[in-house]
Amino acid sequence: MPGGRAAARSRLVLVEGDGRITAWSEDRRLYVRLYPPSLDGRRVAIGVMNDRDMEEIWVADLQRHELSRTLTSTTARFNFPCLSPDGSLIVYRLESADARNGVYLQRTDGTGVAVRLLSSPPDGSIRYYPIGWSADGATVYLDKWIGSRAGLACLRVAAPRDTAVRDLFRREDSQAMNGRPSPDGRWLGFQWDQTGRENGYVAALLPDGSLGEPRRLTQTDGGSPEWSGDGHTVYWGGAQGYVTAPFDPSSGQVTGLPRVVLDSQSKLDAEVLPDGRLFAVQGSEEETGSVRELNVVLGWTHELARKMGGAGK
């Protein structure tokens, strides 16, 4: 559930189920946003603004308690990192003023050579944003923008790799984005504004790789569903705040009343870990021993893509 740009003197914290906050690192930087953790819950990718005002990618290893810079450049921006299920590989978007634009794959520890999976046209008419990785490590899910419209797509990254994305879901009169697969690989959660307001949906991932009919999860508003480690709980951001509800993987339905975990006044930017805790960015002005507020930002990829790419993005 990545939020907006955090304060310059931010730190990384863990938020327990009862709202208690503990510092994960006192290494204070300009943390721009958090990205989804690896499926094993060990690593979290983080966007950090450097002194050249360019986003670079850092990775927090929660098991080893290490924070390391993974991707940086003096001439390019790195964003939308997506970690493989075990965190050993990372897919990301490179944005530059030259012909390097595109989506790349490399080892998270920085060893080896980065492989370009997709190229982006210089005019920005088609753009790709990695969002989720399948549990078997074979497929990456992306937002595919054509002009000002976003749709869902996927790309096989395991051998034999695809050379072009496969379109999964696109509508000319609405935006669909932020596709995240469930841990069991049966469902794809995403955000769709079919009704004129952003809502969370799920669609079955069929054996041939296509999507089934979308099923609406949120009744008022909400972002793309995030998943608990066992896939039996979904989380989303909405007007009320950060909400959770039980989910039945066999039916693809929410089976209980949504419950507000943290209210809409929060000022933490957070991602849910598989164990239900939150990994968050906390600015120095919000440092307390418990959660009072949590930022909930809907359509964050839409907004970030628009700001980074200019008009029509």
User: Range with the lowest mean pLDDT among 90-94, 217-221, 263-267, 306-310?
Assistant: 306-310
Percent of the chain with pLDDT over 70: 86
- Architecture (CATH level 2) of domain 10-309: 6 Propeller (2.120)
Position 298 scores a pLDDT of 41
User: pLDDT tens digits, residue range 216-244?
Assistant: 988 777 788 899 999 999 988 877 777 88
Position 306 scores a pLDDT of 46
User: Range with the lowest mean pLDDT among 142-151, 222-231, 267-276?
Assistant: 267-276
In the structure, what pLDDT confidence band is assigned to residue 266 with cuts at 50, 70 and 90?
low
Q: Where are the domains of the chain?
A: 10-309
The answer to whether 52 and 297 have CB atoms below 8 angstroms apart is: no
pLDDT at 47 over 60: yes
Position 22 scores a pLDDT of 92
The answer to whether 264 and 296 have CB atoms below 8 angstroms apart is: yes
DSSP-based three-state secondary structure for 130: strand
User: pLDDT tens digits, residue range 95-113?
Assistant: 887 888 999 999 999 888 9
Give, in degrees to the nearest 5, the angle at Cα 176 between 207 and 190.
60
Position 254 scores a pLDDT of 92
**pTM summary value:** 0.86
DSSP-based three-state secondary structure for 302: helix
In the structure, what pLDDT confidence band is assigned to residue 265 with cuts at 50, 70 and 90?
low
For residue 125, give every residue at least 6 positions away whose Cβ sits within 8 Å of its Cβ, in sequence order, or none. Answer: 146, 147
